[in-house]
Chain A
Amino acid sequence: MKITKLATTLLAASILTISTATVFAQSAQEQGLAISQESIARDNGWVDMLASMTMVLRNKQGQESIREIRMKTLEVAGDGDKSLSIFDKPRDVKGTAFLSFSHNVGADDQWLYLPALKRVKRIASRNKSGPFMGSEFSFEDLASFEIEKYQYKFIEEQPCDLGECFVVEQYPTDKYSGYTRRLVWIDKAEYRMIKVEFYDRKNSLLKTLTSHDYKQYNGKFWRPSLMKMVNHQNQKSTDLKWENYRFGNGLSAADFNKNTLKRAR
């Protein structure tokens, strides 16, 4: 972190002294990448995680709808994480389980177990940009953050809710992404994602995500207790409440396959 800070200072100095556009652009990209790498590095080594989430969906008229999901996630070195989600609410999807192998590049592998059909179905789709369970979160928004998924550009430093923040622009590399870019606020102290603005395909502001009540687990891993997503275009919003984060549960790849999917409760 000290290195980064030093780099930042040096960079700021170099911007002031050598103010040529090319140097600036290059440096901004490098710096954006460096900040993002640091945020990943700081979250490394959590191995596995259990958590439950409650989604509260609201439309423009304020009508609400609740979704409840339990999640198991396995950290995968060198690729996207593996996750298993079990749906508890609404009642008619209770027991439905979703297995996802996220990949740095290309389509994810996805399976869904449908208890009503008693079958596992593989979803062959490049789409990760649609709404997750009708919410304002897309699967893309919930998937694990990997360096290869974006290109980066440092914008500026700004005061934010948790002190000072880096503002970094991220450009998705997946051509099936629903966004042209994301604007991300990362706090300088702990490299947590404080706020994200999502810009749609025509580069208009679509949604804003804010993460609240960060807590540290196992003395290292910061997780938010509440994520609020507001869609500026249709005035709908979704609150995502996280509870019962548990790390180091001794999960392995064997807990994340088609067979465990069927047995997931």
Chain B
Amino acid sequence: MRERIYNFALNRPWLVLLLAIVLVFGTAYGAKNLVFKGDYKVFFSDENPQLLDFEAMQEIYAKSDNAVFILDPKNGDVFTPENLTAIHWLTTESWQIPYSTRVDSIANFQHTIAEGDDLIVEDLVLDPQVLTDADMPRIKQIATNDLLLLNKVVSATGHITIVNITLQLPGLDPISEIPEVADKVRKIQAEFEAKFPNFNVQLTGMVMMNTAFSETSISDSSTLVPAMFGIVLLTMMLLLRSFSGTFATLVVIIFSIAGTMGAVGWMGFYLTGPSVSAPTMIMTLAVADCIHILTSYYYEMRQGKPKKDALLYSLQVNFKPILLTSVTTAIGFLSMNFSDSPPFRDLGNMVAIGVMLAFVFAITVFPALLMVLPVKASKVTPNDHNGMMEKFAEFVIAKRKILLPGTAVIIVIIASFLPQNKLDDNFVEYFDTTVPFRSATDFMEANLSGLSLIEVSIDSKVSSGINDPKFLKTVGDFSDWLRAMPETDHVSTISDVLKRLNRNMHGDDDEYYRLPEERELSAQYLLLYEMSLPYGLDLNNQLNVDKSSTRVVGTFKNLSSSQQITIETNMYAWFAANAPDYKVNIASPTLMFAHIGQRNINSMLIGTTVALILISLLLAFALRSVRYGFISLLPNLIPASIGFGLWYFMDGQVGLALSVVAGMTLGIVVDDTVHFLSKYKHAIDHYGKSSEEAVKYAFSSVGRALWITTLVLVAGFMVLAQSSFKLNGDMGLLTAVTIAVALIVDFLFLPPLLMMLDGKKTTNPTSVEEQTENLNIAKGTAE
């Protein structure tokens, strides 16, 4: 069967190429269906409990998607007639943003004052044309003292302010809705900057975050993918010095990527921040197959074999190892299906498809292309490297008594830092500081408030129950408690509104800045207040239709996941202790992200274990040895442990993206082990060599191939590490580290371990059948 595939590819190269082109391009046409979803909600599966809580809350109150203009006046004071005129203009203009349902700024803040028995409700900046310097102290005094505005809309010193736009995205077509909003927001920003050059304007908010997801991914694909191609080409040219080989590899890469993207397009996938890194990963992994085939092929050519025979031989010896490593790699990536976050499942499936396609193309299209391309045997003599590898092997053998305990201690020490990593998913930090959304949000946090929100719905379970003085006291006490926490920037609560109204109703007497003591009073104040509010600035975002429940929104500094979860837990504990009768729901995008890391780690632990079991079984089967199957566990597990241990020193924060790395790298690092072990075992079984000699044999036969493929893989994932989308960047970096560590473990730890375990053993020749099988694996990367 296998022979027939090779022969067909070698005898009918043009036909194979034509068929492949037709199939690949037919499939690739499906890529037209691929669209990018920038909505942050893609990170959550439909059954994610935090997402469900949040959506339920949004249906009761109003949606809380928003866009924010951060205004930083160059004179350092928001409160001048010119600056307030500018803010008034921006406030009015912001109503033109598609899907906007509410605009909040200091200009349209509904200020209430009492004059005798009159309740005056009006915009804080009603008519900018009549503003004078004399009005400024009054306006500043009001704005910087109102709890609704202070530290949310305006800073205490009055040097920074925001205009916040609440959006009601229909969610029918998030692919067009979000850019539609972002475009208008930016247009208004540009107009504002042209009209009022005395401001620095930055943009943030959930919609701008969604925009950052898609824009960062697009800019990544326009820089990282070409960079990756460049690196692959350079590496190939340097190591192989062959134009044809490089070109053929390039074709395999392009076919694998085009085929994968097309296939998932037909299957109805959509692209997301994490899954756009699939092409880079596929490219990296596809190169390894080609390198193995090429090195054997050139080796045979140099031995004087004709082109076709050399190719046939190369395919024969490489088929099984390439298949095995492709399957293990695919299993590793498929383990991401256990992830709680759909984009990572997609990424895993896409790369798994890509890796298997790369295997198919490497044994069909690749030899066919090499057949039709002119080839001259490379002049590079690999002997220099082999000499180096042998010297290295001698060093490892000589120092094994020190290396084994030495590396073991180092491994244990580094791996012991693994639990020190902090669990964290701060969505703001999914982007590095070069992304405008990130710098704007950091700026806002430093000067005003964070973007972390926690929404608390408190349900009295009785119609009109929010007017009950007991209920209001609970809401008021809870709000005070929340406000007193050091992490809190702002609390928006109905209790403040009622306190203010009570004061207004008593001639603005500060004595009455307290909650009304009668249910009817609260109800009637609210009725009065609601009748005097303009469109969009009503209380429906704080109260449900039945006035049985209210929503308190806390704004916090950009906290780590664990801090957010602690706050959430404390909130529930507060209600359990102080108001057990009310039904409390806590939800927000911030909390969704806070929980996803933990959920993902739990689910990926299962996924990684399943992958480990499958891969170990496969190895034991391929090596035909349970013993070596067990031994292989160590070099397969150590790299990720060390990788995460080292991560503590590099970053120290583990979240959504990194929780998939262990499973993902498992399939890749296993390749090194399988190559090394099979050569080692081959030498012992087939040639009856001693443990030391077998190590030397393994080094000289696969050492070079291993470090070359590791180099390509590390380079590939290091390219991904450059992503300004930090979620992908961190994933790339940790994967690169893990793969590099795997090579070091295979070179410095595994051989001394094997020599210790096998040192005193006498070798028994195994059956002829098994020897031949192993020979095929062993020869795979022998050159």
Contact = CB atoms under 8 A, between A and B. Distances in A.
B98 A204 contact: yes
A92 interface: yes
B102 to A, nearest CB: 11
B600 to A, nearest CB: 30
Interface stretch (A15-23, A119-127, A151-159): A119-127
Interface in B84-104: 95-101
A26 interface: no
A132 interface: yes
B709 to A, nearest CB: 55
Contact of B530 (A60, A64, A119, A130): A130
B538 interface: yes
B516 to A, nearest CB: 8
B531 to A, nearest CB: 7
Interface string B515-540: 00011111111011011111111111
B544 interface: yes
Interface stretch (A74-82, A109-117, A161-169): A109-117
A176 interface: yes
Contact of B523 (A90, A98, A130, A200): A90
A260 interface: no
A60 to B, nearest CB: 5
A175 to B, nearest CB: 10
Nearest to B117: A121
A229 to B, nearest CB: 13
A45 interface: no
A116 B523 CA distance: 9
Given A61-B60, A123-B121, A115 B524 contact: yes
Given A131-B540, A234-B168, A125 B527 contact: no
B527 A127 contact: no
A86 B525 CA distance: 15
A124 B527 contact: no
Given A90-B547, A134-B547, A178 B59 contact: no
A60 B122 contact: no
Contacts of B527: 87, 93, 96, 112, 133
A201 B534 CA distance: 12
A117 B505 contact: yes
Nearest to B505: A117
A interface, size bucket? 35 or more
A8 to B, nearest CB: 34
B120 interface: yes
Interface string B380-411: 00000000000000000000000000000000
Contacts of A65: 463, 545-547
A91 B464 contact: yes
A6 to B, nearest CB: 40
Contacts of A257: none
Contact of B120 (A61, A125, A204, A236): A125
Contact of B545 (A64, A120, A126, A204): A64
A211 interface: no
A59 interface: yes
B170 to A, nearest CB: 8
Contact of A130 (B99, B170, B532, B544): B532
A234 B101 contact: yes
B538 A131 contact: yes
B60 to A, nearest CB: 6
Interface string A177-202: 01000000000000000000000111
Interface residues of B, number: 51
Contacts of A233: 99, 101, 168, 170
A204 B527 CA distance: 28
B424 to A, nearest CB: 34
A127 B546 contact: no
Nearest to A124: B120
Contacts of B534: 126-127, 129-130, 176, 178
Nearest to A139: B531
Given A57-B545, A116-B520, A138-B535, A123 B467 contact: no
B156 interface: no
A133 B530 contact: yes
Interface in B31-64: 56, 59-60, 62-63
A155 B532 CA distance: 33
A178 B535 CA distance: 5
B501 to A, nearest CB: 11
Contacts of B519: 92
B559 interface: no
A101 B723 CA distance: 63
A158 to B, nearest CB: 26
Given A65-B545, A117-B524, A124 B62 contact: no
B130 to A, nearest CB: 15
Contacts of B536: 178
Nearest to A131: B538
A63 interface: yes
Nearest to B521: A116
B734 interface: no
B543 interface: yes
Interface string B159-172: 00000000010100
Contact of A61 (B59, B100, B168): B59
A1 B19 CA distance: 77
Contact of A134 (B467, B522, B540): B540
A176 B547 CA distance: 27
A83 to B, nearest CB: 13
A13 to B, nearest CB: 40
Contacts of B537: 130
Contacts of B547: 65, 90, 134
Contacts of B97: 202
Interface string B116-160: 011111100000000000000000000000000000000000000
B545 A127 contact: no
A202 to B, nearest CB: 5
A223 B60 CA distance: 33
Contacts of A96: 524, 527
Contact of B524 (A93, A127, A178, A200): A93
B524 A114 contact: yes
A58 interface: yes
Contacts of A130: 530-535, 537-538
Contacts of A121: 117-119, 505, 528
A59 to B, nearest CB: 5
B315 to A, nearest CB: 62
Contacts of A123: 118-119, 121, 528, 531-532
Contacts of B521: 114, 116-117
A126 to B, nearest CB: 7
A123 to B, nearest CB: 5
Nearest to B520: A116
A256 B546 CA distance: 31
A115 B518 CA distance: 12
B711 to A, nearest CB: 56
Interface in A61-76: 61, 63-65
**Closest 5 interchain pairs by CB?**
A178-B535, A129-B535, A92-B523, A116-B520, A130-B533
27 contacts: A63-B546, A64-B545, A92-B464, A98-B531, A112-B524, A112-B527, A114-B524, A116-B521, A121-B119, A123-B118, A123-B119, A124-B120, A125-B121, A125-B122, A125-B532, A130-B534, A130-B535, A131-B530, A131-B538, A133-B531, A134-B538, A178-B535, A201-B535, A204-B98, A233-B99, A233-B101, A234-B62
Interface of B: 56, 59-60, 62-63, 95-101, 115, 117-122, 168, 170, 463-464, 467, 505, 518-525, 527-528, 530-540, 543-547
Given A124-B122, A134-B530, A134-B538, 9 more contacts: A59-B544, A61-B60, A92-B523, A114-B505, A116-B518, A119-B505, A134-B545, A201-B96, A234-B62
Interface of A: 57-61, 63-65, 87, 90-93, 96, 98, 110, 112, 114-117, 119-127, 129-134, 138-139, 176, 178, 200-202, 204, 233-234, 236
